[in-house]
A and B are shown apart, each in its own frame.
Chain A
């Protein structure tokens, strides 16, 4: 019963000659070292970016949303673009941790921790935009259904904007719980290794007193499985609901049934790109190339080329349906997207999202780290353009006198930069103080997918089925 067989045709997921203890050493080492100069520099840069964003928000709250260049037709500008963009980025983390867990994809173990962290930070960034767009932000709690003295006047439960409130807050909570429940055993590992008193205390609190009892592990497995089962429809619902913000309106170019699947595919697409950006740097700086292998990068690139193609098909379908519908307003909206004043955003989107990911059909490029890094940034630029293109459909409405051309003000740009500050500040802290790879999960797959263990499988590879079965059943 101790033979864990996996065909040697499958690429190993953990390279090098690893033992359980070596895994612990490798993953805990960056946490137990003094932070490097590079880390300090990056962290300070993120922190100053965050400060700049915070300043722009103070400015916006003091003077009101008028300091943003929103106008009569474009009531949503960079803020909603960035909101949708950040939420989308979050989706890859849940896809990796939940959907790949249900599909029993072993390679998720190398990347799920960092990807889930990315989800949480991205959702935090996303949440800022609608909140500060409220203007009178001190009244933000009006979106919650609480007993009030206005009637009581409840929020409108059939408005997609309120669905968003529920979807995003649920998504954040569930992702956080899922992530943290996986972290508990790893914090216990750090606690029991800790050499300093402070670290022992801090990780002692963080690990909730976890000791690794067999029954607790059994419940932990059950919890992970059910949370994965819950997160899978949840992640699909979140971007579906985000797309409802647009799709349930009657604005030409927005009122389409294709939006939910196309938004979800786009979200996964951009999310995987962001995972690549982060992990290529993380594996390099923290020297984790043996855990986040070229195989991992290639697997994620395959997801990128698939979802990129889905998005491409969706763009073309939109154009065709606009033409085929015979509705002149719809046709005009799409003509303006392609050839109107914002043509550059449309073609930027097409180039970055549809054309360039097709290069990933070449195995050489899929396994090229720096090409992947470059592409991951291109894809995220493209996905930002996609949201911008959709939202800029508003720039011409039915009344030519209100047509306009929108460009963001410095506060909007600063707010966007500030969200990067928030994201990277969190990520830097995570990379320094948290195990960036799920230690316990890597140990779980070591004997099936570790490079050194796979070599032992060679003798079984050419064995006759009958001989193999006879030998193995003998062990029981």
Chain B
């Protein structure tokens, strides 16, 4: 947990956001994050983010499911408790396929969703600072971490990128356990100050 100072720029269209991102990055600023109300395609590329490896995790979980199903059923039917079902073989691979397939999908899906939540640090009870109440509605918000020396200059630069609103906010940069209907201590202190 660390409370930091951020320069916040709010844009009202992704068509303004893209050149702004380009401009800010080429000016040498490090963008803390960009918040958008929906998945804006190409924004990850514009921000220089590398492709997500989530699908690789999914593949590993899937293979684990396959091995678990085949291994478990095979062990039970050949070693632990071999039964004779109408003279059928003890390792009937074709008849194992449905359950093997289902477990592959189940492991991959559950594993991926959990990994997704872990990587994004999201779960019920987690709270994050919302820079603009409409960043989940129709506004596109770019956030740059600043300090007292570069604050004014960063804000001026953001203003020149076509932002509809620019401001400084002191905010928690990470997630914490909290409720969205309650104000945090640091937010109350700011209001008092």
- Binary contact readout A190-230 vs B (1 if CB under 8 angstroms, 0 otherwise): 01111001101101111011111111111111110111001
Q: How many residues of A contact B (CB 8 A)?
A: 72
User: Of B18, B37, B127, B175, which is within 8 A of A20 by CB?
Assistant: B37
Q: B34 — which chain A residues lie within 8 A by C-beta? A: 213-214
- Binary contact readout B58-84 vs A (1 if CB under 8 angstroms, 0 otherwise): 100010000000001100110011010
Q: How far is the CA of A181 from the CA of B117 in the complex (A)?
A: 9
- Interface locus among B134-142, B147-155, B185-193: B134-142
Q: How far is the CA of A212 from the CA of B140 in the complex (A)?
A: 10
- A234 interface residue, CB < 8 Å from B? yes
- B20 interface residue, CB < 8 Å from A? no
Interface set of A (CB-CB < 8 Å, partner B):
1-2, 19-21, 24, 145, 151-154, 156-158, 160, 162-163, 166-167, 170, 173-174, 177-178, 181, 184-185, 188-189, 191-194, 197-198, 200-201, 203-206, 208-223, 225-227, 230-231, 233-234, 237, 241, 244, 439-441, 443-444
**CB within 8 Å of A: which of B1-36?**
14-15, 18, 33-36
Q: How far is the CA of A151 from the CA of B127 in the complex (A)?
A: 49
Beyond A173-B106, A219-B54, whether A201 also contacts B134 by CB under 8 A is no
- B156 interface residue, CB < 8 Å from A? no
Interface centre among B35, B103, B123 (most CB of A within 10 A): B35
The chain B residue with its CB closest to the CB of A221 is B39
Q: A170 — which chain B residues lie within 8 A by C-beta? A: 102-103, 105-106
Is chain A's interface secondary structure helix, strand, loop, or mixed overall?
A: helix
Are A440 and B39 neighbours in the complex by a CB distance under 8 Å?
yes
- B158 interface residue, CB < 8 Å from A? no
Are A162 and B136 neighbours in the complex by a CB distance under 8 Å?
no
Q: How far is the CA of A214 from the CA of B134 in the complex (A)?
A: 15
Q: How far is the CA of A204 from the CA of B184 in the complex (A)?
A: 14
The chain B residue with its CB closest to the CB of A187 is B136
Interface set of B (CB-CB < 8 Å, partner A):
14-15, 18, 33-44, 47, 49, 51-52, 54-55, 58, 62, 72-73, 76-77, 80-81, 83, 85, 88, 92, 95-96, 98-99, 101-103, 105-106, 108-110, 112-113, 116-117, 119-130, 133-138, 175, 179-181
Q: How far is the CA of A181 from the CA of B47 in the complex (A)?
A: 24
Q: How far is the CA of A214 from the CA of B38 in the complex (A)?
A: 9
Q: A209 — which chain B residues lie within 8 A by C-beta? A: 121-123, 125-128, 175
The chain B residue with its CB closest to the CB of A201 is B181
Are B98 and A153 neighbours in the complex by a CB distance under 8 Å?
no
Q: B40 — which chain A residues lie within 8 A by C-beta? A: 214, 217
Are B38 and A443 neighbours in the complex by a CB distance under 8 Å?
yes
User: Of B47, B102, B105, B124, which is within 8 A of A206 by CB?
Assistant: B124
Q: How far is the CA of A191 from the CA of B175 in the complex (A)?
A: 16
Beyond A208-B122, A244-B98, A443-B38, whether A215 also contacts B33 by CB under 8 A is yes
Are B99 and A217 neighbours in the complex by a CB distance under 8 Å?
no
Distance (whole angstroms) from the CB of A288 to the closest CB of chain B: 18
Are A227 and B130 neighbours in the complex by a CB distance under 8 Å?
no
The chain B residue with its CB closest to the CB of A171 is B102
The chain A residue with its CB closest to the CB of B104 is A230
Are A203 and B137 neighbours in the complex by a CB distance under 8 Å?
no
Distance (whole angstroms) from the CB of B100 to the closest CB of chain A: 9
What are the 10 tightest A-B residue pairs by CB atom distance, in nearest-first order?
A204-B180, A209-B126, A20-B138, A208-B122, A158-B95, A440-B38, A200-B181, A21-B138, A163-B98, A201-B181
Are A156 and B85 neighbours in the complex by a CB distance under 8 Å?
yes
Are B112 and A223 neighbours in the complex by a CB distance under 8 Å?
yes
The chain A residue with its CB closest to the CB of B137 is A24
Are A205 and B39 neighbours in the complex by a CB distance under 8 Å?
no
Q: A215 — which chain B residues lie within 8 A by C-beta? A: 33, 44, 49, 120
User: Of A19, A20, A214, A244, which is within 8 A of B44 by CB?
Assistant: A214
Q: A441 — which chain B residues lie within 8 A by C-beta? A: 38
Beyond A197-B181, A217-B36, A226-B112, whether A211 also contacts B130 by CB under 8 A is yes
Are A220 and B39 neighbours in the complex by a CB distance under 8 Å?
yes
Q: B41 — which chain A residues lie within 8 A by C-beta? A: 221
Distance (whole angstroms) from the CB of A182 to the closest CB of chain B: 11
Are B76 and A174 neighbours in the complex by a CB distance under 8 Å?
no
List 9 A-B residue pairs with CB atoms under 8 Å apart, sorted by A's residue number.
A20-B37, A156-B83, A170-B102, A174-B105, A192-B135, A211-B136, A217-B44, A219-B119, A444-B38
The chain A residue with its CB closest to the CB of B53 is A222
Q: B33 — which chain A residues lie within 8 A by C-beta? A: 213-215
Q: B77 — which chain A residues lie within 8 A by C-beta? A: 157
Are B37 and A166 neighbours in the complex by a CB distance under 8 Å?
no
Distance (whole angstroms) from the CB of A126 to the closest CB of chain B: 16
Q: How far is the CA of A216 from the CA of B92 in the complex (A)?
A: 43
